Amino acid sequence: MKRSHRLIILLLVTVLVLGGAFFFNRQRAGATSEVAPKRTALAVSIVPPQQANWSQQLSVSGGIFPWQEAVIAAETSGLRVVEVAVDVGSVVRRGQLLAELSTDGVEANLAQQQANLAKANAALAEARANADRTRKVQGSGVFSGQQVNQYLIAEKSAAASVAAAAAALKSERVRLAQTRILAPDDGVISSRNATLGSVVQAGNELFRMVRRSRLEWRAEVSAEQLPRVAPGQSARLRLADGSQVDGSVRILAPTLDPTTRKALIYVDLPASSAARAGMFASGEILTGSKAAVVLPSSAVILRDGHSYVFRVGEHDIVSQIKVDSGRREGNQVEILTPLPTDARIVASGGAFLNDGDAVRVESAPAAASQAEPAR
């Protein structure tokens, strides 16, 4: 075979191989394009930013203390405790007997002072009779001027002795009354030092009482927070067991602690609450209300430490917007970043979206399109 014929045959074979390869690749590409799934748009519901009137609050903490604590002490000395009528936790009324001291010695002194008073009254009667007789004959020369002065002075001295005896008798009666230790006000006994059989001294603390069973929360606020607090504002504190107690601001401390640079806010607590003196609680002081732009918490997506929402634009294409969030109430969150009032925000499902994705908008649930009621 000639050389030219061999070249022609080689070229034909090469063309056939290349043509077959091109045809095979086109067939495979067509088949792949036919089986490739078509991407579908995610169905989402939308919600516009809502206006709500939310309460403003300060987060504070502090201890719980008695409103006023009465110290009940002995007022007399050298007497023995013969009865203890209450214990720690006893709820008492004003004038109720708490403890009683021995009265034997006091009653003996009282009887003696009664006898002294009677004796002084008899001496006064005699001196008064002598003085009356002296007055009748005064100037007649029967008695000298010196004798007249003696009888009149004796009358005054006897009257003074009667007054002194009466005062001593009254003192013993007061001491007898002091043998009964009574409650100075309504309240609850918080401590007891009185022991049966012990001999008390004047000033010894026998009981300590929380007056009227009233407690107060002493919350600490900084100098920057202090101007926002005023008497009469509501407060809400959380106890260690998770329960909540509502109170009311009674008064603000006039000075700040020089060490902590904080001021105390005195909050009255209801007597029927679960709070107890000595507890530590945290909570909020409601300082007023302020309008807020809110969205459902499901609309706010947290990515890389930042908060985002997805806004649906033209042709149902979403754009990712970085926002700053604020207060939370229930399932609503405050949005601090300005948003158009007519913005269409993806209510839920944003975690599966990316910037520029196409979505299919569905009707928003009624619950999701409503903001939290005004507070």
Domain CATH code at residue 327:
2.40.420.20
For all residues of the chain together, what is the average pLDDT?
Answer: 85
Q: What is the CATH number of the domain that holds 130?
A: 1.10.287.470
Strand 69-73 and strand 301-303: the pairing is: unpaired
Same domain, 266 and 358: no
Same domain, 82 and 167: no
- Which CATH number is 274's domain given? 2.40.30.170
Domain residues for the domain of 49 are: 42-54+291-362
> Looking at the domain assignment, is residue 13 inside a domain?
no
Bridge partners of 249, per DSSP, are: 267
pLDDT value at position 326?
82
* 222 and 283 belong to one structural domain: yes
| pTM score above 0.75 | no
Considering the domain architecture, whether residues 90 and 112 belong to the same structural domain is answered as no
Q: Where are the alpha helices (DSSP H) in the chain?
A: 3-35, 104-137, 145-177
The reply to whether 311 and 356 lie within a common domain is yes
Give the integer Cα–Cα distance in Å for 275 and 237: 10
Domain containing residue 91: CATH number: 2.40.50.100
Domain assignment of residue 373, yes or no: no
4 located within any domain: no
Higher-scoring residue by pLDDT: 164, 332: 164
| Residue 197, pLDDT score | 94
Which stretch of 14-18, 102-106, 278-282, 363-367 has the lowest confidence by average pLDDT? Answer: 363-367
Please check whether residues 219 and 346 belong to one and the same domain: no
Same structural domain for residues 83 and 170?
no
Q: Hunting for tokens 């002081």 — which residue is that?
A: 285
Q: Both 80 and 118 in a single domain?
A: no
How many domains does the structure of the chain reveal? 4
B/e letters for 180-193, b = 16+ CB within 10 Å, e = fewer, are ebebbebbbbbebe
Structure confidence by residue, pLDDT tens digits, 179-218: 999 999 999 999 999 999 999 999 999 999 999 999 999 9
Domain-embedded: residue 8: no
